[in-house]
Amino acid sequence: MAKLHFLYSVMNAGKTTHLLQVRYNYIENGGHVLLFTSLVDDRFGVGKVRSRIGIEADAIPLRKDDAIDAIVATEHAKRPVTAVLIDEVQFTTAEQVRQLAWIVDELNIPVMAYGLKNNVYGVLFSDAIATIMALADDFLEIKQLCHCGRKATMILKFDRNGEAVRSGEVIELGDESRYVSVCRRHWTNGDIGPAARQLLARATAAE
């Protein structure tokens, strides 16, 4: 039976690389895969999913009022869909996540949704994440390390002085250099670590 999978991590843990590898494996075996991404995330162009190691694929860009269930059902009627993959699921809506569950239950198509579980303020990223945490059949954490060697579970946002930012916008697309994935202890302490401080110093010196 098909399942709704939630694959989550902090930033820079390789979620998109994992997603694109899964897509490639399905296609290599003759599968028909529908790949979606949020219209909000247009860092690499609208409808583009790209990993930090350079691999990419075209995707269907989703607005918050798009009905994913209808899009998938229409395509499935033309040609059976093997799997549905969602990048950046945290930017979708709770209703769209419920539609993902419908795709699994009524069309028997596996859905793999990738995204950030927590935001920089230490709470679930969005209503969509709260909903998928409630509805998903299967969970997989894609692990990343903190600068201290512990597992990174939190995202720390920092300013140009390397100080932790505790208010304001959660995500500023296009300025990923202001985020670092850390363990809970260093998130609480606001410690971005030596590597991030070094990169910040280089950027400041180059200005």
Q: Are residues 86 and 181 in the same domain?
A: no
- Is 95 annotated in the active site? no
pTM of the complete model = 0.88
Query: Using an 8 Å Cβ cutoff, are 15 and 117 in contact?
Result: no
- Eight-state DSSP code of residue 146: -
Q: Is 11 helix (H, G, I), strand (E, B) or coil?
A: coil
Question: Is residue 28 domain-shared with residue 72, that is, in the same domain?
Answer: yes
Q: Which of the following is catalytic: 28, 56, 88, 176? A: 88
More confident residue, 69 or 207: 69
Q: Which domain holds residue 179?
A: 154-206
The binding site for substrate comprises 171-174, 179
Please check the confidence at residue 90 and state whether its pLDDT lies above 70: yes
Annotated binding site for ATP: 9-16, 87-90
Do 186 and 98 have their domain in common? Answer: no
- Domain membership flag for residue 129: yes
